[in-house]
């Protein structure tokens, strides 16, 4: 008795024409799905910590000024915290908005242009934010080499 063998859908032993994922697209969508969950868990910790330290401790929002930022970024711990938050939040948010564009923009050209604008904005914000964290100077100088008011300069 030779009954037709019906393979399990996920075994990979199915005829190529029935495969749902084209070879070219790979597993990008699954990687994106997994990234949303992994980055989401990390972002809950990073953002709750950010809000607690910046808004709920001491004087709260009134303590935030140039000196507050200088104080935090003098410590590599907070530089890394903010860098991780920037990258993960921007990629998480960009992928979320990408999903929304795919859901609601029906024309191919609308989807293309909306995503082009989205990716350009993401690149600008991630690069700008990364540069700001790593090139921050607590004692910025004007064009004549004189310290700008409000900075924190070592005593000359």
Partner 1 sequence: MPTKPAGTLYRGREGMWSWVGHRITGVVIFFFLLVHVLDTSLVRVSPEAYTAVIGAYKNPLMALGETGLVAAIVFHAFNGLRIIAVDFWKKGAKYQRQMLWTVLALWVVVMVGFSIRHLSLALGGH
Pairwise CA distance, residues 152 & 154, whole Å: 7
CB of 132 vs partner 1, minimal distance in Å = 5
Which residues, including other chains, have CB under 8 Å from residue 149's CB and lie 6 or more apart? none
CB of 139 vs partner 1, minimal distance in Å = 9
Residue with structure tokens 């979320």?
96
Does position 49 interact with partner 1 (CB under 8 A)? The reply is no
CB of 1 vs partner 1, minimal distance in Å = 37
Pairwise CA distance, residues 27 & 95, whole Å: 15
Structure-token pair, residue 93: 């948010």
Does position 150 interact with partner 1 (CB under 8 A)? The reply is yes
Does position 65 interact with partner 1 (CB under 8 A)? The reply is yes
3-state secondary structure of 41: helix
Phi, psi of 147, rounded to the nearest 5 degrees = -60, 135
Query: Between 9 and 67, whose beta carbon lies closer to partner 1?
Result: 67
Helices (H), the chain: 28-51, 66-73, 76-104, 108-135
Structure-token pair, residue 26: 């790979």
Among 25, 62, 106, 154, the residue binding partner 1 under the rule CB under 8 A is 62
Does position 125 interact with partner 1 (CB under 8 A)? The reply is yes
Task: Please list every residue from 67 through 106 that binds partner 1, using CB under 8 A.
Answer: 67, 69-70, 86, 89-90, 93-94, 96-97, 100
Among 135, 143, 154, 155, the residue binding partner 1 under the rule CB under 8 A is 135
CB of 64 vs partner 1, minimal distance in Å = 6
Rg of the chain, C-alpha, whole Å? 24
CB of 30 vs partner 1, minimal distance in Å = 12
Does position 120 interact with partner 1 (CB under 8 A)? The reply is no
């Amino acid at each position: 008795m030779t009954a037709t063998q019906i393979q399990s859908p996920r075994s990979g032993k199915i005829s190529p024409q029935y495969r749902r994922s084209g070879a070219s697209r790979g597993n990008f969508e699954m990687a994106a799905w997994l990234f949303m969950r992994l980055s989401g868990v990390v972002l809950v910790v990073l953002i709750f910590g950010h809000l607690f330290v910046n808004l709920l401790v001491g004087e709260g929002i009134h303590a935030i000024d140039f000196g507050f930022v200088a104080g935090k970024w003098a410590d590599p711990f907070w530089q890394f915290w903010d860098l991780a938050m920037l990258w993960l939040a921007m990629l998480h948010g960009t992928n979320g908005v990408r999903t929304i564009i795919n859901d609601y923009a029906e024309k191919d050209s609308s989807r293309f242009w909306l995503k082009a604008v989205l990716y350009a904005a993401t690149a600008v914000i991630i690069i700008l934010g990364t540069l700001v964290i790593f090139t921050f100077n607590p004692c910025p100088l004007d064009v004549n080499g004189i310290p700008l008011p409000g900075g924190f300069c070592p005593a000359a």
